[in-house]
Amino acid sequence: MRKKIVAGNWKMNLDKSSSEHLVKEILESTQEKKDIQIVLSPPFIYLEQVVKDCVSRPDVLIAAQNCSAYDNGAFTGEVSTNMLKSIGVDYVIIGHSERRQFFSESNDVLMNKISLSLSNNLKVIFCCGEDINQREKDLHFEIIEDQLKSTVFKLSANDFSKIVIAYEPIWAIGTGKTATSDQAQEMHGFIRSLITNNYNKDISDNTTILYGGSCKPSNAKAIFSEDDIDGGLIGGASLKSADFTSIISSI
Ligand code: PGA
């Protein structure tokens, strides 16, 4: 059966002491549950410390927010998948709309990052999502299909089974506008049917598909209760331990 995951993407927020404090509070106010995975995704600079802080909690895994599209060598400022693996990171978030938009990451760049992550035994949280114009023109299904076909659907079945998909409508990220649970379920069901067509039902049934975009304590329960929604990728609300742990307990 597929895993339920609640992942906190801190983005470029928090200083060192607030990051340590947040981790401490999250660990204190949650208990290990077999079927739920908590994922914390701090900025690179705090990753190693957060890995160490969570070592006694096998249900809490750590994600990098990005990785280099290159293996190693003369790439000033970059962090390789091999380095991430060597400090105990478990996941890499790839394809987030902020990286596509502000750092011009193309499908080819995303594919390089995915391949390098998988070859270094890192799992991938792969984000997809349409913008408001595409949604208003009723192009959202087409856009998501295209984003998946140009990237993760090129993987072998074995490699695809290491991918978690996060559906994040761009118009809902950081805006306070959440997709309704019907809108989210409709897209998650569509993504699952695409996985069945591209691979098979077994792989589709076992793929975790997260929702992201203004998910908060007040709407998490309704969103997570939908059949094809297996948890969330949480931005703003993952920076406050009370909000994040309340979202975790909604699953
Ligand atoms: P948000 O961000 O929860 O602040 O909308 C979600 C994300 O970007 O992953």
Q: Is the C-beta atom of 42 inside 6 A of ligand 1?
A: no
Catalytic residue among 98, 130, 168, 188: 168
Q: What is the pLDDT of residue 245?
A: 98
What is the pLDDT averaged over residues 209-231? 97
Based on the residue annotation, tell me whether 96 is a catalytic residue of this protein. Answer: yes
Q: What is the pLDDT of residue 178?
A: 83
pLDDT band at 157; cut points 50, 70, 90: very high
Q: What is the pLDDT of residue 10?
A: 98
The whole-angstrom separation of Cα 29 and Cα 174 is: 25
Q: Is the pLDDT of residue 176 over 90?
A: no
What is the pLDDT averaged over residues 211-231? 97
Q: What percent of the chain has pLDDT over 70?
A: 100
Q: Is the pLDDT of residue 32 over 90?
A: yes
pTM of the predicted protein model: 0.97
Q: Is the C-beta atom of 168 inside 6 A of ligand 1?
A: yes
Q: What is the pLDDT of residue 107?
A: 95
Catalytic residue among 96, 105, 130, 188: 96
How many angstroms separate the alpha carbon of residue 218 from the centre of ligand 1?
Answer: 15
